[in-house]
Amino acid sequence: MKTTFFPSYTIGSDAYGEIVKICRPYGNKAVVLGGEKAINAAENKIKCAVKDSSLKITGFFHFGGEASMENIERLKEIPQVKDADMIFAVGGGKAIDTGKVLAHTTVRPFFTFPTIASTCASCTSLGILYYPDGSLREYSISNIPPVHIFIDSEIIVNAPNKYLWAGIGDSMAKYFETSVSSRGDELIHSQAMGVSLGNMCNGPFVKYGEKALNDCRDHTVSPELEEIILGIIVSTGFVSNLVSMDITSGLAHAVYNGFTVLSQIEEYGHLHGEIVSYGILILLIADRQKEEFERVFRFNKSLGLPTKLSDLHSSMKDADKVIEKALKGIDVNHYPYHVTPEMIREAMESIEAYNESCK
């Protein structure tokens, strides 16, 4: 049996104005858990929204910096957290996932308030948990997403634009990975719907991406920017909620995992979605989609996303390490063909050569 749920959502600079109307049916006490900067950005707006209503905020608490079981256990013991009927999870991926898994394990409804648009965490039922040292612990699988996503575009536009930039790369991978990973499969209804919805993670990004990023740099909320925010959070999140784990990932994320072994990735602060966007190029070459590769290559160039190894402070000398780690994970276990180390190496070399030919 498979049950799939979807959150509703509100977007706009006045999105929090709906909090009482939407949350009050779930109880009269909410606790806010989030990142420090996120709480700074959202606290006054949340307080204003619930002022003079029967919905009370029991407190605002920092989630602890890592989406770890240790932080979840610590937060669970705080009396104001125990006392709340519902959880408000505020911030980026890790803060949202902390509130999400806490809500799942204590069987309470949760609402999300993304303050950056870099991943679809605020829309999904899946929580990603880490050990306190930051290494991956487990995927906390659930089919319960937030009840509602409150997307305040004014808060997002005032966050550093690098998150939106990297979020575009990560979201576009959803289209390419689901379409390739599911190729040749007999898909059940929800999977087929998810793969088909994956198209929304391609066209709108190509159409609105550049304008949205420029508007984000200027801190201007525009229709194009809201299209991209919805693409990163809602389109990508809905696809994730619909398709199974083996289809939702693929070679672009395998390549990302590969790069995590290089110390320069952390040293230079390269972001997840930034590396994934280079992974899409590898996926397309390995899949022999030359035309699509050229299109994404031009798109990456126009947005300043990576198109070559030096953009990620690496070179062909790092290839062996990257490829070994890339193929260790589960990302290409379910794939229409066997992905070999040579395939990735050849794709890397061919992309380096293509960059040279474009000079």
What residues line the site for Zn ion (CB under 5 A)? 170
The smaller minimum CB distance to Zn ion, of residues 115 and 240, is found at: 240
**SS3 of residue 281 by DSSP:** helix
Residue 201 beta carbon to Zn ion: minimum distance, rounded to whole angstroms: 11
Beta-bridged to residue 149, according to DSSP, are: 9, 112
**Residue closer to Zn ion, measured from CB, 55 or 172:** 172
Nearer Cβ to Zn ion, position 119 or 191?
119
Q: How far is the CB of 179 from Zn ion (least distance, A)?
A: 16
For residue 256, the minimal CB distance to Zn ion (Å) is 7
Q: What is the DSSP string of 199-256?
A: GGGTHHHHHHHHHHHHHHHTT---HHHHHHHHIIIIIHHHHHHHS-HHHH--HHHHHH
Rounded CA-CA distance 12/229 in Å is 11
Chain CA centroid to CA 348, Å: 25
Minimum gap (Å) between residue 262 Cβ and Zn ion: 18
Q: To the nearest whole angstrom, how small is the minimum distance from the Cβ of residue 249 to Zn ion?
A: 8
Q: What is the DSSP letter of 317?
A: G
Task: Output the six-digit token pair for 272.
Answer: 């997840």
User: Of the two residues 42 and 178, which places its CB atom closer to Zn ion in the complex?
Assistant: 178
Instruction: Please report, for residues 170, 324, 329, the alpha-carbon distance to residue 257 in angstroms, rounded to integers and kept in the order given.
Output: 13, 10, 8
Of the candidates 245, 201, 236, 246, the residue with the CA atom closest to the CA atom of residue 336 = 246
Calculated CA dihedral for residues 116, 121, 123, 126, nearest 10 degrees:
-170
Minimum distance from CB of 169 to Zn ion (Å)?
9
Closest separation in Å from C-beta 69 to Zn ion: 22
* Nearest distance in Å: CB 253, Zn ion: 6
> Which residue, 91 or 237, has its beta carbon nearer to Zn ion?
237
CA distances from 181 to 77, 184, 339 (A): 42, 9, 12
What angle is formed at CA 149 by the lines to CA 147 and CA 150, rounded to 5 degrees? 130
Between 72 and 128, whose beta carbon lies closer to Zn ion?
128
Question: Which residue is nearest to Zn ion, using beta carbons?
Answer: 170
Instruction: Tell me which DSSP letter residue 304 carries.
Output: T
Nearer to Zn ion, 170 or 331 (CB): 170
CB 280 within 8 A of CB 254: no
136-140 and 110-114 beta bridge pairing: unpaired
Closest CA to 283 of 274, 269, 272, 296: 296
Min dist. Cβ of residue 312 to Zn ion (A):
15
Q: Could you tell me the smallest distance in angstroms from the CB atom of residue 321 to Zn ion?
A: 21
Minimum CB distance to Zn ion smaller for 111 or for 259: 259
| 127-130 and 136-140 beta bridge pairing | antiparallel
Nearer to Zn ion (CB atom), residue 120 or residue 348: 120
Toward Zn ion, which CB reaches closer, 152 or 279? 279
